Amino acid sequence: MTDDDFGLVIHGRQVLIEGHFIEAWIGVEQSTIAAVSHVPLAGRKSAELADGDVLIPGIVDTHVHVNDPGRSEWEGFASATRAALAGGVTTLIDMPLNSIPPTISVDALNEKRSVAAGTTLINTGFWGGAVPENLGQLQKLHDAGVFGFKAFLSPSGVPEFGHLNRAQLFAALEEIASFSGVLIVHAEDPGVLNDHQNRGGPSYSKFVDSRPPAAERNAIADIIDGVRATGARAHILHLSSVESIPMLRAARAEGLQITVETCPHYLAFVEEEVPDGATQFKCCPPIRDRANQEALWSALVEGDIDMIVSDHSPSTRELKFAGGGDFGMAWGGIAGIQSSLAAVWTEARERGIGLERVAQWMSSAPARFVGLAAKGSVEVGSDADLVSFSPEQEFRLEPADLLYRNTVSAYLGRTLRGVVGSTWIGGVAVSPSDDSDRRGILLCRG
């Protein structure tokens, strides 16, 4: 052993570096990528990727509902991060709801951190919430390390997390602009939703009709107005409809600080194929038709949508199938963090889109969005959060495969392409089957 030996050297014939897959040896020392070499390196430990496998940066999922504490029967940090790890996710940012208490105060943030400490298998950070009762007090949460603030413009589905009206939205944006934070927004207009209410029932098309594209369009218009008036930074969560793309493109061309995400379920499923009564597909906004799906893919390729994140939103089986297939009664949310990478890659490959673009949308772009500059890339100085991935291997997702607390998912029974192999967090190999090795750390903004 020499002074040049690294703690770990990973060799792969296809390593994603600066947007291209090339043969490389990755030298890791003290949790960080210390060398990227085109010739062999010496290491005290070594790992050789199998032929056909690729090495990519770990997925960074900035939209995850862990629901712990308070609704841990829905999910929890141990089960959520185990499932995430199985899906190639090495970092997640937890939403401020549906935990009880919601993360709308420093005390609630500290309680959530205490629950998460020592139970996460992957790196975990936290969003704060912006609700009517904590406006004017958001900087305290910002200073405590949350990555930004989540707000709803329509009812959230849980009573303890209220939504903002237009005046409150503007007030939140003005306050957040004062300390250079970011507001991430569930953008649906409550007036439009109220006007399109129906009796529910098992018809999926009627459910889609109850949440039309106009609900997103009107809410996004308010956000654009608020950003223009305040100079704040805002982010559109889970965009489902392409009808809002032209106004977003114009706002961004104007120089407004607005970013946009969409989710794997909008890219993998289409309205025409959702069976009536299949409430495992219920989410808000809803999965829309095939033409809309293809337009979402085009918006990603053209740069109008910045990133893809899971919006992992699990619940108990009883809530997900409440009403025996009634879309008006069932919980709205899709459990998908374990399947997101494979689902997106499966669909991208069919459209001739390379895995390097998928990694950009699911790893580097979310990492940049939340200011985690050391994540989302394979380069010297980056955190050694790495995933070996078999892009051509197919599998059919079965209930026994799911590592969520409740084995419910819209992806069950679907044949997907792409299997996660070895995963390293901070240069240490981790496995969802090994509960003893909890490598995840709790992250703070900045």
Domain segments of the chain as ranges? 8-48, 57-371+392-416
Q: What string of pLDDT tens digits covers the 446 residues of the chain?
A: 345 689 999 999 999 999 999 999 999 999 999 999 999 999 999 999 999 999 999 999 999 999 999 999 999 999 999 999 999 999 999 999 999 999 999 999 999 999 999 899 999 999 999 999 999 999 999 999 999 999 999 999 999 999 999 999 999 999 999 999 999 999 999 999 999 999 999 999 999 999 999 999 999 999 999 999 999 999 999 999 999 999 999 999 999 999 999 999 999 999 999 999 999 999 999 999 999 999 999 999 999 999 999 999 999 999 999 999 999 999 999 999 999 999 999 999 999 999 999 999 999 999 999 999 999 999 999 999 999 999 999 999 999 999 999 999 999 999 999 999 999 999 999 999 876 666 689 999 97
Structure tokens at 262: 């969409």
Place of tokens 């100079």: 231
CATH of 57-371+392-416, one of 3.20.20.140, 3.90.1150.10, 3.30.70.600, 3.40.190.10: 3.20.20.140
Strands (E), 216-357: 233-236, 257-262, 307-308
Q: Environment class of residue 436 by beta-carbon count within 10 Å: exposed (0-12), middle (13-18) or buried (19+)?
A: exposed
Length, in residues, of the chain: 446
Integer-rounded Cα radius of gyration of the chain: 21
Q: What pLDDT does 440 receive? A: 80
Spatial strand order of the sheet with 89-94 comes to 59-64, 89-94, 123-126
Pairing of strands 59-64, 89-94: parallel
Considering only CA atoms, which of 121, 119, 120, 61 is closest in space to residue 95? 61
Helix (H) or strand (E) holding 312: none
Structure tokens at 48: 């050789």
Check: CB of residue 64 under 8 Å from CB of residue 312.
yes
pTM, two decimals, is 0.97
Report the alpha-carbon distance of residue 222 to residue 121 in Å, rounded.
39
Q: What pLDDT does 118 receive? A: 87
Helix 213-230 vs helix 245-253: angle between axes, to the nearest 10 degrees? Answer: 10
Structure tokens at 240: 């489902």
Considering only CA atoms, which of 186, 83, 102 is closest in space to residue 146? 102
Collapsed DSSP state (helix, strand, coil) of residue 408? coil
Q: Environment class of residue 255 by beta-carbon count within 10 Å: exposed (0-12), middle (13-18) or buried (19+)?
A: exposed
